[in-house]
Amino acid sequence: MVIMPVTVDLHSAAKQHLKGCKRSSALRLAAEILAVDCGLKTSFLYDFGAADILQIQRYLKELHQIGFIQGPLHILDMEGTVLIINVPRTASYLTMLQNSGELHVIDVSATLEYPEMFAQDRLWRIQSQLSDLLTHLTPYQTELPGTISVADIASTEWNLCTMFGFLLHYPAVYWFDTTKNFENCLSFTPLKRITVESTCCQIGLHKLQVYSFTIPESVCQNLQPLLQAWTERLKHEFDGQSHFTDLKVIMETVMLPAVAL
């Protein structure tokens, strides 16, 4: 196996700033961040261990110093969960959602027998939260390349599953009634699982999972035009960058005993 010089630097950066990060995890993490940096993804939900927000900031600054990413990037702490955000791409997407007046939200509360789409007149609270999120991101849109900003946002009353779905650029997002419990009605429900894979030749990673999300088949037919438009936009973004190749969109039906949101 040929070891590329950049992979040595990436592993070293992860070991220095993110304690206990193995080489395979370090390369996958770097590829995820590169996908955000080049605009292929709007955001990435950090799930590589217990690093705090300042450790992640130092790590990202190191990636910039070795020339792996350009930046700027924004690190956002939402109730202890960290997202790494391409602010211009994310703000543009959230603005489009706000201007369209249509949010595609699927209610999967445990009290329901089957998932169902939110009626538009029920979405005012989510629209208000998206507006607050966009207001938070706006000052970071003009940061210089190489800037790695950090912040947190008060979101105790938000359904974070829903907000994460928007930040991660899913075409439709889940919501459930958190005032009763944190369960959902997706157990053994037929789901259309959409997985997007690609190759990051820069560090020799194949079948990198760029996106993965599900849509209940009971509502999938109504959302088919939306899903098609999302896929076309993704292909357009893919064509506008050179870090990733071999885009592959996989759709399959799954039934799972439990679905964590």
pLDDT tens per residue across span 38-78: 999 999 999 887 789 999 999 999 999 999 999 999 999 99
Look at residue 59 and tell me if it is in a domain.
yes
Look at residue 162 and tell me if it is in a domain.
yes
Relative to beta strand 43-45, strand 81-85 is antiparallel
Look at residue 229 and tell me if it is in a domain.
yes
Look at residue 260 and tell me if it is in a domain.
no
| pLDDT over 70 at 94, yes or no | yes
Domain count, the chain: 1
**DSSP-assigned beta bridge partners for residue 84:** 44, 75
What is the pLDDT at residue 197?
A: 97
- Report CA-CA distances (Å) from 135 to 27, 91, 128, 153, 202: 33, 9, 11, 11, 35
Look at residue 259 and tell me if it is in a domain.
no
pTM exceeds 0.85, yes or no: yes
Q: Residue 72 in contact with residue 146, Cβ under 8 Å?
A: yes
Look at residue 165 and tell me if it is in a domain.
yes
Q: What is the span of the domain harbouring residue 65?
A: 5-254
Look at residue 261 and tell me if it is in a domain.
no
Look at residue 239 and tell me if it is in a domain.
yes
| pLDDT over 70 at 3, yes or no | no
